[in-house]
Chain A
Amino acid sequence: MPLKAVAAVAAPTRDPAWLGRVAWLSLGAVLLWPLAVATEFRPWVLVDPDSLKVTRRFLADFLPPAVAPDFLALVAREAWRTVAIATAGMTLAWLLAVPLTLLSVRALSISALSGRMATGPASVRQAVRWALVVLRSVPELVWALVFVRVVGLGPTAGVLAIGLTYGGMLGKVYAEILESGEQHASQTLLRNGSGRLQAFFYGLLPQNGAELTSYTVYRWECAIRSSVVLGFVGAGGLGQQMDSAMKMFNGGEVATLLAVFVALVALADLASASLRRALG
């Protein structure tokens, strides 16, 4: 008897749900069609003999990478400029974010100690938050395009663009970190008549300092990546060199620049990871 029962429920040899899977996949393909049309998705362009010839020549040019001494000196200088633009931009962002955070953090409200925050302070805090959202939601590339027009080509536009966008990001996240922590200490200080800055330095900062620093360092790492991108619109650094090398189809230079850039990002990654580990 048991033998027969086992035979009756022998494992099916094919997927029992195959019909449903095939139906969903074909529905997906139908929905995908307009997307492919809109993006002019024509993979065969890649293997078109004409474009293949150009691509092959460009890629063949990658080897050997350009290692002429004066080109390497130029790359080293531009790599430093990339790091410097990111660092200066982050400094600007930090200087922008700290006062805005102090203005917008709800944990430092004195009127909120007795129930609801008063209307005046609440609306000021909301307004600062909106300002941070606006700063953050304009992509840094757009800021850079605008500033390149006003101050001309060069690192100033990149520094300002990173400063504004990252200032918005830092301000928003700083406020979130400060509000998500334990607020007992700062509230006790405020209740006993300490000033807001005292409550911040002795109540909020000691417990959130490590997290704030760690986030700032992580953002610095992102800023290095984005300062390369900003170079493409003329804000200096490795990106600008890469852009001109690509436009001249100079594969060897592109290869060197890409390698240096990947190494730079890996190095920043390493530095930021070890710094964050040191913070505990």
Chain B
Amino acid sequence: MTPALPHAPGRAWGWSAALLMLVVASFWSLDLQWAQFFSLDAARSMGRFIGEFFPPDLSPEFLRKVALGMGETLAMSALGTLLAAIGGLALALPASRLHGAERAWARRPTRALLNVLRAVPELVWAGLLLIAAGLGPFAGTLALAVHTTGVLGRLFAEAVENAPSGPGAALRTQGVGKGRVFVYATLPQVLPQLLSYTLYRWENNIRAAAVLGVVGAGGLGQLLAFHMGLFHMGKTATVLGAMLGLVALVDALSHLSRRWLMR
């Protein structure tokens, strides 16, 4: 005979009931067109849609355009991440308490700013920055940089605060100024960690940069939105293939290098 399951505490039941209500309310309030989606009509239009993808446009000049788009995506992600690393470091200093006695009056406001930068997704930043920077990869680069500054600033601040305080204290008691204490005592200790956070975000940003262009911010996404909008389905298929290939390549490289480093 199977034993009864361990008695679940009342609070868990409360949470489960609330969750269930949320799910039911969500499905009930959205007018989801399941009937239309699972109809024969939708299946036929889906089939036609996929059928139009073939044959993908593999003409040399278009392939060159896609390769350029891919390079643009990579450049956007690299430059955006680099700018974000610089910005994140600049904001991490006021956002962290470097030693126990410091007042750190800027800590809370800077952290609030970082939270706002981080809460707004790259794509929304891109939409906003298009107004100032115009269509093209520059707006995308800035959008990646702004969002990632929020993410990295927060992570950098945590790393700086958790660094061992001995070397910094030794310099401070000798009367060395704040900036030099950071550069010569704190930074060398946290640099490997900052670098690994930055590389991790770069990986994320390549993925983000690939789709960022659908609002007009350059890279493969812009090609995708352009050709999809004009119903060039063969070209759309090529761009989609390049996008998925890029994402898969980044995933595979990150997986392999992680395994290699963990060995």
Q: How far is the CB of A65 from chain B (nearest CB, A)?
A: 15
Query: Which of A36, A80, A228 meets B79, CB within 8 Å?
Result: A36
Is the contact region of chain B dominated by helix, strand, or loop, or is it mixed? Answer: helix
Given A137-B248, A150-B46, A151-B37, is A84 in contact with B131 using a C-beta cutoff of 8 Å?
A: no
Residues on the A chain within 8 Å of B119, using CB: 225, 261-262, 265-266
Per-residue 0/1 for B129-169: is the Cβ within 8 Å of any A Cβ (1 yes, 0 no)? 01111101110110000000000000000000000000000
CB pair B26 A88 closer than 8 Å: yes
Is the CB of A196 closer than 8 A to any CB of chain B?
Answer: no
**Residue among A34, A38, A55, A254 with the highest chain B CB neighbour number at 10 A:** A38
In which size bucket is the chain B interface?
35 or more
**A residues in contact with B26, CB < 8 Å:** 83-85, 87-88, 91
Partner-binding segment picked from A39-47, A121-129, A177-185: A39-47
- In Å, the complex CA distance between A61 and B49 comes to 42
A81-B29, A142-B243 are contacts. A156–B131 as well, Cβ < 8 Å? no
Measured in the bound complex, the distance between the Cα atoms of B131 and A254 in whole Å is 13
Q: Are A141 and B32 in contact (CB under 8 A)?
A: no
In the complex, identify which listed stretch (A2-10, A97-105, A242-250) lies at the interface while the others stay far away. A242-250
Which one, B100-108, B193-201, B210-218, is touching chain A?
B210-218
Are B128 and A45 in touch, CB under 8 angstroms?
Answer: no
- Shortest C-beta distance, A232 to chain B (Å), equals 6
Contact A35 B78 (CB under 8 A): yes
- The answer to the question of A112 belonging to the interface, with a C-beta cut-off of 8 Å to chain B, is no
Q: A32 interface residue, CB < 8 Å from B?
A: yes
| A218 contacts the other chain (CB 8 A) | no
Known: A39-B137, A40-B136, A87-B23. A246 touches B131 (CB 8 A): yes
CB-CB under 8 A from B210, the residues of chain A are 139
How far apart sit A54 and B132, CA to CA, in the bound complex (Å)?
7
Q: Which residues from chain A sit less than 8 Å from chain B, CB to CB?
A: 32, 34-36, 38-42, 45-46, 51, 54-55, 58, 80-81, 83-85, 87-88, 91, 133, 137-139, 141-142, 145-146, 149-152, 154-156, 159-160, 202, 206, 225-226, 228-229, 232-233, 239, 242-243, 246, 249, 254, 258, 261-262, 265-266, 275, 278
Interchain residue pairs A-B with the least CB separation, the first 8? A38-B75, A84-B26, A87-B26, A55-B132, A39-B137, A141-B211, A35-B75, A88-B26
Could you name 5 residue pairs across A and B whose Cβ atoms are closer than 8 Å? A38-B137, A139-B207, A145-B225, A232-B123, A246-B131
- Residues of chain B touching chain A, judged by Cβ–Cβ distance below 8 Å, are 2, 6, 11-12, 15, 22-23, 25-27, 29-34, 36-37, 42, 45-46, 49, 71-72, 75-76, 78-79, 82, 115-116, 119-121, 123-124, 127-128, 130-134, 136-138, 140-141, 207, 210-211, 214-215, 218, 221, 224-225, 228, 240, 243-244, 247-248, 251
Not counting A91-B23, A145-B225, A262-B120, a sample of 16 additional A-B residue pairs whose C-beta atoms are within 8 angstroms of each other reads A39-B137, A42-B138, A81-B29, A85-B30, A137-B244, A146-B49, A151-B42, A155-B31, A156-B36, A225-B121, A228-B121, A229-B124, A242-B127, A243-B215, A261-B120, A275-B15
